[in-house]
């Protein structure tokens, strides 16, 4: 399984150096909008319930936690902290979404 080797809060976003030699930058607001917690996405239907307009343009993550061996949790400047971001999801975003900028480090 690919896991983060290093995590840094940079000026533009969360930078994750994966142990597959890819370093990816996830813009803060973009990542905040991917939150899949019960306050942001309706559990039964998967319907988004987060009011996107309520998320400040200049939001950043001030802190992160590792959740077990499989996920990250962020504390955002809008006070939100209940979202769990599985490594697998973060990797999928880096592969499938142009908002995430990745560089090969090998």
Residue 77 CA to residue 91 CA, distance in Å, equals 24
What residues between 67 and 86 interact with Zn ion by CB under 5 A?
83
- Nearest approach in angstroms of CB 35 to Zn ion is 3
- Nearest approach in angstroms of CB 5 to Zn ion is 26
What residues between 8 and 37 interact with Zn ion by CB under 5 A?
35, 37
Q: Is 16 helix (H, G, I), strand (E, B) or coil?
A: strand
Backbone angles phi, psi at 86, to 5 degrees: -60, 145
- Nearest approach in angstroms of CB 22 to Zn ion is 26
Q: Which residues bind Zn ion (CB under 5 A)?
A: 35, 37, 39-40, 83
């Amino acid at each position: 399984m690919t896991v983060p080797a290093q995590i840094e809060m940079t000026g533009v976003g969360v930078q994750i150096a994966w142990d597959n030699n890819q370093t990816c930058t996830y813009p803060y607001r973009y990542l905040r909008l991917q939150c899949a917690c019960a306050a942001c996405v309706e559990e039964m239907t998967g319907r988004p319930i987060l009011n996107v307009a309520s998320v400040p343009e200049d939001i950043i993550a001030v802190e992160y936690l590792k959740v077990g061996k499989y996920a990250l949790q962020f504390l955002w400047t809008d006070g939100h902290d209940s979202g769990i971001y599985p490594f697998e999801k973060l990797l999928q975003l880096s592969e499938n979404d142009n908002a995430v900028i990745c560089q090969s480090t090998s």
